[in-house]
Structure 1
Amino acid sequence: MKDLKEFDISFIGLKDGNTQFEYTIENKFFNFFDYDEFYNSNIKVNLSFVKKPTLFELNFTFLGWVEVACDVTNELFKYPIEISSELIVKFGEAFNNENEELLIIPYSDYKLNIAHYIYETVVLALPLKRIHPGVSDGTLQSEVLEKLKELEINKEEIEIHNKEIDPRWNKLKNILIDKNTSNGTS
C-alpha cells in the first residue's frame, strides 16, 4: 500500500492505551482500488486504536455518504453510510486475514495499514440492489419511471382477462373434474 501511507499506523511508538485517528475518505481513495461504482464520496472515519501488550483493538465509526446510481432509474443519489465495526489485531508467525474480525500480523511488523479494511467495510455496507429513495416514496420524477409505469401490468386488467374465458375451456375443465372424481374405471 505504497500510495496510501496516510493509513499506516506505526504502533511501535504508541503507548499502551487509546489513541484516536480520523480520516476523510473521498473518491480518490476508491480509485486507488480501481473501484468505480461510486461517483463521489465523503466519509469520515473515526478510529479508536487501543494498544494492549499482546493485541490491538480497533473500533471504527464511519459516517457520511457515497454517490451511486439507482439500479431502477440510473439516477445518481447519495447513499448514507453509518457503520460501526471492530477489528482485533494479534501477533503470530505469519500474516492471516481469513477471519473478518481477527487479523494476525507477523511479529516482525512495526506498522499496520488499515486502508484495505476501510475499503472493504464501506463497499460491503451497501446493499446489492441500490434504489433511489425517491422511487420508494414516489417523489422521484424520471423518464425511466414514467416508462415503467406505462408498462406495468394492471391487476384489474388481469382479473378482467381471467373472467373472460372462452366457454370451450369450461367444457374441458369439466372433463378433467369428471376424470379426477372417477374411481379409475370407465
Structure 2
Amino acid sequence: MELKAFNIAFAGLKQGKHEFKFELDNAFFESFGYEDFNSANVIVDVELDKRSTLMDLVMEGSGSVNVNCDVTDEPFDMPIDASMDIVVKFGDSFNDENEDLLILPHGDYQMNVAQYLYEMIVLSIPYKKTHPGIEDGTLQSDVLDKLEELKPSGSDETEDDIEMDPRWEALKNLKTDNNK
C-alpha cells in the first residue's frame, strides 16, 4: 500500500486550523506487517493547527476492527475510539524519540502521519480481547461449553471449614501481634 496518501503538505497552508480525514482499512495495517485484524474500518480526523513556530496535530480515530476473541477464537467487531496529540517543531535534524514531540528539519514542507495513525490504533486495542457475548452471556460457542464442562467442581466447604496449614496460622498470629 502506498503511504504517500498520508502525507500532509503544510508548507502552503496559512496559519490556523486545517482538517484532514483518513480512512484506515486492513491493507493499511498489513503494510506495517500487522495482521491481527480480520478487517478494519477506522476513520481518523486530523486537525493541524499551524502557528508561526510550531504545529499541533490532534488525531482522533473511531470505527471498528474485526478481531478474534482470545477465549473462544470467535471473530467480533471491536469498537475503536483512540486519540493522540503531537507537537511539531522545527530544528536542525529529524527527531521523533519523544512520543509527544516531533522535530522536523528546517525546510521540510510535508510530513507523513501513517506511522502515528498506525500506533494510535494498535495501541488502543486491549491486551486481552474478549467477545462481548461472553460478558453478557449471549454467546453460544463449543469452546465455552467445553470450558464450562472442564471447570473445577465447586465444593460446599467455606473458607472457615478448610484446615489452614499451621505455618500460615503462625504467620497470621505474627501479623496480629504487631498491630497491638
**Distance change in 2, residues 1:14/1:148 (3 Å):** same
- AA aligned to 2:103 is I
Which residue does 2:39 correspond to in 1?
Answer: 40
Partner of residue 26, structure 2: 27
Runs of 4+ residues deviating >3 angstroms: 162-165
AA aligned opposite 1:101: D
CA contact (8 A) 2:58 2:86 kept: yes
Q: C-alpha displacement at 1:63, in angstroms?
A: 0.9
Matched residue of 1:108: which SS?
coil
Cα RMSD (Å): 2.2
Deviation at 1:163, TM superposition (A): 6.8
Aligned-pair identity in percent equals: 45
Q: How many residues align?
A: 165
1:86-137 deviations in Å (ceiling 9; x for gaps): 1111111121112111111111321100000000000000111111111111
TM-superposed CA distance for 1:155, in Å, is 2.3
Looking at structure 2, the residues matched to 93 and 8 of structure 1 have their Cα atoms a distance apart, in angstroms, of 21
Unaligned runs of 5+ in 2: 171-180
- 2:97 maps to 98
Q: Going by fraction, where is helix more abundant, 1 or 2?
A: 1
1:126 aligns to 2:119 (yes or no): no
Letter in 1 for 2:151: E
Shift of 1:164: 9.9
Unaligned segments of structure 1, at least 5 residues: 166-172, 178-186
The TM-score, its normalising length taken from structure 2, stands at 0.85
> Which residue is equivalent to 1:85?
84
